[in-house]
Amino acid sequence: MIDYFWLIPMPVLFTMILTLLFGKKLGLKSAYLGMLGTIASFCMSLSVLPDVIAGTVKQVEFTWFLNFKFGFMLDPLTITLLLLVSFLATFILLYANGYMHGEGGLMRFFAEVQLFTFSMLGVVIADNILQAFIFWEIMGLCSYLLIGFWFHKPSAAAAAKKAFLTTRVGDVFMLIGILILYTQTGSLQYHEIFAAAANMDPFWITAATLGLFGGVIGKSAQFPLHVWLPDAMEGPTPVSALIHAATMVKAGIYLMARFMPLLVLAPISQNFMVIIGLITALGTALMALTATDFKRVLAFSTLSQLGFMVVALGTLNMAGAILHLINHAFFKALLFLGAGCVIHVTGTNNIWEMGGVWKKDKVTAITVLIATISIAGIPPLSGFWSKDEILIGAAHANPIFCGILLLASFLTAFYMFRLYYVVFAGKPRTEKHGHACGKTMLIPLVVLSFFAAFSGLFSKPIARFITGETMAHGSNTVMMISIVVALLGFLLATVIYGWQKISAAKIANTFKGICTLLINRYYIDAAYNWFCNHIVVGLAKVADFFDKHVIDGIIHIVRDVTLLVSKAAKWVDIYIVDGIIRGICSGFVFGGSEIRKTSTGQLQQYLLLIAAAVTVMIALVWGGLL
């Protein structure tokens, strides 16, 4: 089996094609078909796991065209993500079976979800950056199609466009990174690049890693390209879960982890990543405070958590990043699926229209609670362990980093519990009614909650498996502070939203300016909109004007001048060239009409003239003149 590990993503592709062919007939059952593929992939991954644990690193290469190769590799990082993605995709598909009940376009939906999963697997298993980029872009396409699934909604169409374009900007940077790598090392294979890295000019290493990180900023939605992710909530909830937990945003983290050997050599890039990560972690956590849409709060929390992971990568703490990636995948998938259930039950997205869901749907409430505790970083649930790992890494690099992350961590605990209290506690705030969730929706919740709770306990073996080195023993101080901070956040949320001792509205009033700023997401979206609508489209309009009036104007001037010249030539032709001809002609006509007068019709006159002429001729002959 290990020799055919590169077949791991193929079942998903196969079922996707089957879905395309038979999806119309199968309808919701396409989900099971898809699950067949993801389960197959999962099992195949599982079957090669022992070999990988035993230390096998496999690589297979084929020629794509000319000297470009496509190839697959299997190492601990890859297998971890393969397992994670196929596992999560299986349950998301199962969930979608229930969630998408009664929707149209199911064939399209399930095919796209499977393609999405397939491309994520493709990114992970690729052994060269070009192939990763290819699947990376296909993921962009899938996100576009899935976010815009309800394309008849203008907001969905706009969000889809925004997602693709924003990530495309990042992709361009990534492509630049690829170009630098290819130009400098002459190869696109990871192992060749890493082998050549030692001889590379540090400037180019920095440039290449920054370029690749540009791609990560786009795909993993880091500041300043984070704007697409909150809007991506326009897609169906399973899609959100897929994007946030299993695919897309995680691809960026994976890529940087993959390029760790190169990143090690580029301190400037590391610093840059840390700064971006910190800005994202803190900035988006603040935005989550004022969000009112359930899924948006989760989106902001994803952004914030991704910021954590990027900081971890920037501090060369690969174990922390990957662990957090795994844990986050579980609890965020759980949160989204839970959110889907809540939305199903309450029939609204707005948290202020929810409330009292605890009583309506116990299963959802409990599982979401587990996820909330986990993300807040309260031990012993999973989030705590990985977050702690990241904080320790950051503290090693610079205590200030750690401080900022702790602040973000505090905010995380606060807004997550705020969300929980508002949605699940108290009484329903509106009369809207949804419908209960079916079994296919609840089973994934239960399974995922199990992993969200306990996956953190396996941090050490997983970290050793991935990085190959034993995790350094953490600092107790940092651990203690992080627990305290998380509990403080929980406490504050309980005070404000649980016991309602302090009025949230009052606080909002006090910090009105800040609140407006946060609600408007720091006006970054507005600035981008302004930039696109006025600068880019303006430039386009200017270019259009330039094209129509200047370039074409020159053509028209050339045309007019040519026409003018030809008119002048025509005048010259008529009055001068032709004039001469006609002058000659009229001279002949005039002369002829004069000479004609001698032609009297008198025979004898003619005869006389003939005689005279003959005489003259004779005379001339004898005169020697002829």
Partner 1 sequence: MLEIGLTHYLLLGAALFAIGLFGAIGKKHVISILLSIELMLNAVNINLLAFSKFLPLSNGAGEIFSIFVIVIAAAEVAIGLAIAIALYRSKGSLDLDKFNLLRW
Partner 2 sequence: MMQSIVFFLLAALTLGGALAVINLKNIVHSVLCLIVTFLGVAGIFLTLRADFLAAVQVLVYAGAVSILVIFALLLVNQGDGKMAETNPYSRFGYLGVAAAMLFFGFLSFSLIKTTWQTTGIAAAATSVGEIGVRLLSQYVIAFELAAVLLLVAMVAAIIIGREVKDHA
Partner 3 sequence: MNHLLTFILFTPLVAALLVFLFGTTTKRAKWIAFAVSLIPLVLSVFALLGFDWTNSQLQFSVLIPWIQDFGISYYLGIDGLSMPLVMLTTLLTTLTTLFSFDVDHKTKTYFTLLMLLETGVLGVFMSLDFFLFYLFWELVLIPMYFLIIEWGGPRRRYAALKFFVYTHVASLIMLVGIIAMYFVAGRELGYYTFNMIEIMQKVHFASSFQYLVFPALFFGFAVKIPVVPFHTWLPDAHVEAPTGGSVLLAGVLLKMGGYGLIRIAFCLMPEAAKYYALPMAILGVISMVYGAFLALAQDDMKKMVAYSSVSHMGSVLLGLAVMNVNGFNGAIYQMFAHGLISAMLFMLCGILQHTFHTRRISELGGLANRLPRLATFFVFTFFASLGLPLLAGFVAELLVFLGAFSVYPALTLVAMISLVITAAYYLWALQRAFFGPYRESLEVHHPHDLTWYQSVPLTVLGALVLFFGICPAPILNVINVSSQYILQLLGGVL
Of residues 541 through 600, those in contact with partner 3 by CB under 8 A are 541, 543-544, 547, 551-552, 554-555, 559
| 529 interacts with partner 3 by CB under 8 A | no
What residue 601 binds from partner 2, partner 1, partner 3, none (CB within 5 to 8 A, per partner kind)?
partner 1
Q: Which of 57, 532, 572, 576 binds partner 3 (CB under 8 A)?
A: 532
Query: Does an H or E element contain 430, and which?
Result: none
Residue count at the site for partner 2 (CB under 8 A)?
Answer: 11
The SS3 assignment for 55 reads coil
- CB-count burial class (<10 Å; 0-12, 13-18, 19+) for 66: exposed
Q: Which of 6, 8, 133 is closest to 59 using CA atoms? A: 6
Distance CA 151, CA 407 (A): 39
Tokens read off for 139 = 């993921």
Q: Which does 599 bind (CB under 5 to 8 A by kind): partner 3, partner 2, partner 1, none?
A: partner 1
Q: H/E/C letters for each residue in 70-95?
A: EEEEECHHHHHHHHHHHHHHHHHHHH
In the bound state with partner 2, the residue whose beta carbon lies nearer, of 529 and 615, is: 615
| Cα-only R_g, the chain | 39
Binding partner at 543 among partner 2, partner 3, partner 1, none, C-beta below 5 to 8 Å by kind: partner 3
Q: Please, which residue, 561 or 616, has the CB nearer to partner 2?
A: 616
- Give the C-alpha separation, 594 to 562, whole Å: 45
* Residue 228 partner contact from partner 1, partner 2, partner 3, none using kind-dependent CB cut-offs of 5 to 8 Å: none
Binding of partner 2 by 622 (CB under 8 A): yes
Coil vs helix vs strand at 599: coil
The 3-class SS string of 8-31 reads CCHHHHHHHHHHHHHHHHHHHHHH
In this chain, which of 2, 7, 17, 138 binds partner 3, going by CB under 8 A? 138
3-state secondary structure of 236: coil
Q: Where are the alpha helices (DSSP H) in 291-317?
A: 294-314
Distance CA 441, CA 190 (A): 40
When the beta carbons of 157 and 196 are compared against partner 3, the nearer one is 157
Residue 89 to residue 369: CA distance in whole angstroms: 22
Per rule CB under 8 A, count of chain residues that contact partner 1: 10
Write the CB contacts of 480 (distance below 8 Å, at least 6 apart in sequence). none
Q: Out of 593, 604, 622, 623, point to the residue binding partner 1 (CB under 8 A).
A: 604
603 binds partner 1 (CB under 8 A): yes
Q: Which of 169, 196, 491, 519 binds partner 3 (CB under 8 A)?
A: 169
Q: Of 310, 497, 252, 301, whose CA–CA distance to 408 is shortest?
A: 301
Question: Is residue 531 at the binding interface for partner 3, with CB under 8 A as the rule?
Answer: no
User: Can you name the residues that pair with 128 across neighbouring β-strands?
Assistant: 189
SS3 (DSSP) at 433: coil
Is 595 one of the binding residues for partner 1 (CB under 8 A)? Answer: no
> Which positions ≥6 away from 385 have C-beta within 8 Å?
323, 327, 379, 456, 457, 459
The answer to whether residues 402 and 477 touch, using CB atoms and an 8 Å cutoff, is no
Site for partner 2 in 588-617 (CB under 8 A): 604-605, 608, 611-612, 614-615
Instruction: Provide the minimum distance between the beta carbon of 606 and partner 1 in the complex, in angstroms, as a whole number.
Output: 8
Could you say whether residue 133 binds partner 3 (CB under 8 A)? yes
Q: What are phi and psi of 184, to 5 degrees?
A: -80, -35
Provide the residue count of the chain.
Answer: 626
Q: Does 593 bind partner 1 (CB under 8 A)?
A: no
Residue 618 binds to partner 2 (criterion: CB under 8 A): yes
180 makes contact with partner 3 (CB under 8 A): yes
The nearest distance, CB 602 to partner 2, in angstroms, is 8
d(CA 415, CA 24): 42
Report in angstroms how near the CB of residue 554 gets to partner 3 at its nearest: 8
Q: Closest distance between partner 1 and the C-beta of residue 601, in Å?
A: 3
* Dist. CA 178–CA 184, nearest whole Å: 10
* The one segment of 264-272, 330-338, 497-505, 593-601 that binds partner 1 by CB under 8 A: 593-601
Residue 487 binding result from partner 3, partner 1, partner 2, none, given CB thresholds of 5 to 8 Å by partner type = none
Residue 600 interacting partner from partner 1, partner 3, partner 2, none (CB closer than 5 to 8 Å by kind):
partner 1
Q: How far is the CB of 165 from partner 3 (least distance, A)?
A: 6
Q: Which is nearer to partner 2, 398 or 615 (CB)?
A: 615
598 binds partner 1 (CB under 8 A): no
Q: Is 123 helix (H, G, I), strand (E, B) or coil?
A: helix
- Please say whether the beta carbons of 8 and 121 come within 8 A: yes
- Minimum distance, C-beta of residue 590 to partner 1, in the bound complex (Å): 17
Q: Given the complex with partner 2, which of 195 and 621 has the nearer CB atom?
A: 621
Asked if omega into 9 is within 30° of 0 (cis), the reply is: no
Scanning 42-50, 95-103, 377-385, 597-605 for contacts with partner 1 by CB under 8 A, the matching segment is 597-605
Residue 374 · residue 386 · CB < 8 Å:
no
What angle do the packed helices 318-346 and 249-258 form, to 10 degrees? 170
25 lies in the site for partner 3, by CB under 8 A: no
Per CB under 8 A, residues contacting partner 1 are 599-604, 606-608, 611
Residues that bind partner 2 (CB under 8 A): 604-605, 608, 611-612, 614-615, 618-619, 621-622
Contacts with partner 3 by CB under 8 A lie at 63-66, 130, 133-135, 137-138, 141, 144-145, 148, 151-154, 156-158, 160-161, 164-165, 168-169, 171-172, 175-176, 179-180, 182-183, 532, 536-537, 539-541, 543-544, 547, 551-552, 554-555, 559
